[in-house]
Amino acid sequence: MATLHTRYLGELRTEVTHLASGASFITDAPLDNQGKGESISPTDTLCAAFTSCMFTLMGIAARTHGIDIDGIRADTTKHMGTEPRRVVRIEVRIFGFPKVYTEKEKIILERAARTCPVAMSVHPDIKLEVSFEFD
């Protein structure tokens, strides 16, 4: 059974619907690739999936170990290459931690983030650079 339904809307735009929940979002080609840049691009969604996945795994670990991470934030930067046009590097800076953590808690959170299935699924040539600003 399908997980997502994607519909091409024309003008280099798609609508993606998650079948289980009905939630949807629009993608648009970026300005530098003939698009209007009016919504998140397909390659942006890849980067967002990576960051969201890390947060999900960190949340599971935090719940298991009684660590508060509510409100953490991340800035994600996508770097594109040419020939072929593709994502070559994703930088993620995780910050805004709500408290001072012990070294053990930091290790738990970092290890959880690094087990993200999205990270394990992207091509190994894509550099994934993640920094944690605990202090």
CATH of the domain at 85: 3.30.300.20
Q: Are residues 26 and 64 in the same domain?
A: no
Q: Are residues 70 and 95 in the same domain?
A: yes
Q: Are residues 81 and 29 in the same domain?
A: no
Asked whether 88 and 79 are in contact (CB, 8 A), the reply is: yes
Distance CA 36, CA 22 (A): 26
Q: Are residues 18 and 57 in the same domain?
A: no
Backbone dihedral region of 41: left (phi > 0), alpha (psi from -120 to 50 degrees) or beta?
A: beta
Q: Provide the domain limits for residue 11.
A: 4-33
Q: What is the mean pLDDT of the chain?
A: 97
DSSP designation for 5: E
Q: Are residues 9 and 59 in the same domain?
A: no
Inform me whether the pLDDT recorded for 135 exceeds 90: no
Give the predicted TM-score (pTM) of the model: 0.93
Q: Per-residue pLDDT tens for 92-106?
A: 999 999 999 999 999
Q: Per-residue pLDDT tens for 11-40?
A: 999 999 999 999 999 999 999 999 999 999
Q: Are residues 8 and 59 in the same domain?
A: no
Q: Are residues 22 and 77 in the same domain?
A: no
CB crowding 30-67: b at 16 or more within 10 Å, else e: beeeebeeebbbbbbebbbbbbebbbebbbebbeeeeb
Q: Are residues 27 and 46 in the same domain?
A: no
Domains in the chain, number: 2
